[in-house]
């Protein structure tokens, strides 16, 4: 469901891999009975047009059902734990003299990590 990388792509305003995230949340939040029924009906390909045309904007993420929000929240926490430093430490480094001593490549990597963490923290707030 989530491709070879097993990851979802999030942007500032919406989920960029919305189809994969929608399907994953839908399946993971189903009861065992719902899953069996869904599978028996070949529901994988027969989702309604409404679902296909909906976007997972930030607003839509905040309106998800509680079990889906909890799943996303816990997943984001796990992802944030995989980083060596937290958001505050990255922000402090960006505003520190030590930043200027980093190579250009290290500065760019810091900006990327910081941006990723900002998006993840934004998602935490949306699904609280």
Domain spans, the chain = 18-127
Residue 72's CB is within 10 A of a number of other CB atoms, namely 22
Count the alpha carbons within 13 Å of 2 in the hemisphere toward its beta carbon. Answer: 13
Q: Report residue 40 as tokens.
A: 């028996």
- Ordered mean pLDDT values, 10 residues apiece, the chain (128 residues): 68 86 88 88 58 70 92 93 93 94 96 95 94
| Report field, pTM of the whole predicted structure over 0.75 | yes
Q: What's the distance, Cα to Cα, between the start and end of the chain in Å? A: 25
How far is the C-alpha of 98 from the C-alpha of 109, rounded, in Å? 15
What pLDDT is stored for residue 56 in this prediction?
83
CATH class, domain 18-127, is: alpha beta
Q: Is the dihedral of CA 31, 8, 10, 99 positive or negative?
A: positive
Contact (Cβ atoms closer than 8 angstroms) between residue 69 and residue 125: no
């Amino acid at each position: 469901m989530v491709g070879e990388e097993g990851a979802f792509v999030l942007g500032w305003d919406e989920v960029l891999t919305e189809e994969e995230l929608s399907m994953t949340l839908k399946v993971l939040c189903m009861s065992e009975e719902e899953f069996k029924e869904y599978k028996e009906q070949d529901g994988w390909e027969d989702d309604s047009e409404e679902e296909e045309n909906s976007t997972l904007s930030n607003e839509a993420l905040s309106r998800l059902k509680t079990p889906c929000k909890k799943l996303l929240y816990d997943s984001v926490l796990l992802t944030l734990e995989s980083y060596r430093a937290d958001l505050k430490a990255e922000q402090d480094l960006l505003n520190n003299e030590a930043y200027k001593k980093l190579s250009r490549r290290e500065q760019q990597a810091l900006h990327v990590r910081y941006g990723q963490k900002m998006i993840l923290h934004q998602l935490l707030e949306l699904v609280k």
